[in-house]
Amino acid sequence: MSAPAQSEVLAALARVFRKLRARWYVFGAAAVSVRARPRLTDDLDVTVLIAPGQRQDLVDAVRAAGFTFEHDFATILRTSAVLRTRHRRTKLPIDIVIGGPGLEEEFAERASLIKFGRTRVPVISTEDLLACKLLAGRPKDLEDVRALLREDIVDLARARALLKRIESELDQSDLSPMLELLLKERRGRR
């Protein structure tokens, strides 16, 4: 995705979310690109925190800002926490995740403003991004974790505590061991 297209889309989304008075943040490959290393991606991922009654307002505002949707609105509004959309002018696909209480609210609070073009947008923190990438667990996500670890920008104590909490909440036990394995792998390459 080109930097100008990404900047244009993020500026449009920033205006939409500001109008709705919604907190939001960028995550995914775009966040990895600003936190660790440039990474090619063919989409953009954002999370927005809105009240349940604002879903229709969100869809209407996003549509009015020049985006199209891949699914019919009734289905989206009833069943999905992810709005798959595309910016008409740039053709850039965007996944808008409708966040909920708990971790996603905390991620929004810890996000920091990063400049994309002329617009400053909230980007998920490094530790929160690392946790999301480990949770997704795909090969490209683990490569992103490796990139974050190579930069020596991760507060490992905070990342470990967050992973333990996520494991406890999801009754899962594979995130912390995966981080330790990737750290061991990194030490072995030095």
Q: Are residues 99 and 35 in the same domain?
A: yes
pLDDT at 149 over 90: yes
Q: Are residues 85 and 116 in the same domain?
A: yes
pLDDT, tens digit (0-9, with 9 covering 90-100), for 40-51: 778 899 999 998
Q: Are residues 112 and 143 in the same domain?
A: no
CA-to-CA dists, residue 53 to 20, 78, 117, angstroms:
12, 11, 32
Q: Are residues 102 and 146 in the same domain?
A: no
- Quote the percentage of the chain above a pLDDT of 90: 73
> Average pLDDT, stretch 58-64?
93
CB 126 within 8 A of CB 95: no
Domain stop point among 106, 124, 142? 124
pLDDT, tens digit (0-9, with 9 covering 90-100), for 13-22: 999 999 999 9
CB 167 within 8 A of CB 186: no
Quote the pLDDT of residue 4. 83
Confidence of residue 63 (pLDDT cuts 50, 70, 90): very high
Confidence of residue 2 (pLDDT cuts 50, 70, 90): low
> Average pLDDT, stretch 70-95?
81
Q: Are residues 116 and 146 in the same domain?
A: no
Q: Are residues 98 and 187 in the same domain?
A: no
pTM score, two decimals? 0.91
CATH of the domain at 68: 3.30.460.40
Domain stop point among 78, 103, 124? 124
Domain stop point among 124, 150, 178? 124
pLDDT at 187 over 60: yes
Q: Are residues 119 and 130 in the same domain?
A: no
Q: Are residues 78 and 107 in the same domain?
A: yes
Q: Are residues 107 and 145 in the same domain?
A: no
Quote the pLDDT of residue 82. 87
- Rounded to the nearest integer, the mean pLDDT of the chain is 91
Q: Which two tokens stand for residue 138?
A: 């795909």
List the strands of the sheet with 112-116, edge to edge: 67-69, 82-87, 93-99, 44-49, 23-27, 119-123, 112-116
pLDDT at 1 over 60: no
- Split into its structural domains, the chain has a count of 2
Q: Are residues 16 and 89 in the same domain?
A: yes
Q: Are residues 5 and 52 in the same domain?
A: yes
Q: Note down the domain range covering 65.
A: 1-124
Higher pLDDT, 100 or 12: 12
